Homo-oligomer: A and B are copies of this chain.
């Protein structure tokens, strides 16, 4: 058997996600709202969350065969995109650069950005509930339940509220972990959980181990984010670097220092890899998840 080619696997699935997202958002739309939405979500971003959904689906079969997994992949990217659009607005982080482009409110105005973010969220739930018989109703309902709980006030939105309230505060490591568990961790874990929900037949022990994987990966992702905010420049990041420190935001680097934060990220990646081994699934099935984990820790943007 030839070794797993992560790049090729990613390209296949990135193309599928991009095409499905583009199909789902018509540029021809009331008052050009679709154009602002397309600007926000197409042609940019690492697409880590959709790739995680698909890599998890791959753990039980060929992810290309699952309409449910493709819908879930698009839906979680739409939630992520909406949160970025709103997060960048003047009343929140007031950021002007995202994925190397002017942010949505800079390009289209604040009111249209607010509406585009709202409608991107709605579209996520629309994509999870196709009415053409391609996905079983039970998988639809489970994915909606998972995504709504992970992104709502007891998930991502709650984490953002903590983030807002914590500027200039000194948080303990526990508080910082709680904020990130909600703000970024909940959606990354949800990516794995939706992937599981899309493929019937995964043993319970494998599901539990995958959930542990999702938690460790989500935390690793955030620690690396904090490290990159200090070590990378804006051009490489595609967004404003150094803004955490400028805004006096609590980060892992501020809490434990740069070198310790780097070591912590590596430790979390090891935990994630161990959880994958604990699924008991064949190595070949886990190659995509392993590759994404390595990518999260080694990325430079």
A interface list, Cβ under 8 A from B:
25-26, 29-34, 37, 82-83, 86, 89, 91-92, 109-112, 114-119, 121-123, 125-126, 128-131, 136-138, 140-142, 144-145, 147-149, 151-154, 157-162, 164-165, 182
Contact = CB atoms under 8 A, between A and B. Distances in A.
Given A29-B154, A114-B89, A126 B149 contact: yes
B121 A118 contact: yes
Contacts of A89: 114
A176 to B, nearest CB: 13
A292 B239 CA distance: 51
Contacts of A116: 153
Contact of A114 (B111, B114, B145, B154): B114
Contact of A148 (B123, B141, B157): B123
B92 A111 contact: yes
B86 A119 contact: no
Nearest to A123: B152
Nearest to A145: B129
A92 B89 CA distance: 13
A34 B138 CA distance: 29
Contact of A161 (B92, B115, B144, B151): B115
A30 B158 contact: yes
Contact of A153 (B119, B147, B159): B119
A233 to B, nearest CB: 28
Contacts of A147: 125
A182 B212 CA distance: 43
Contacts of A30: 153-154, 158-159, 161-162, 182
A108 to B, nearest CB: 10
A92 B119 contact: no
Contacts of A109: 91
Given A140-B144, A158-B30, A152 B115 contact: no
13 contacts: A29-B153, A30-B159, A86-B118, A114-B114, A116-B153, A119-B153, A123-B152, A123-B153, A125-B147, A126-B152, A137-B140, A137-B142, A140-B140
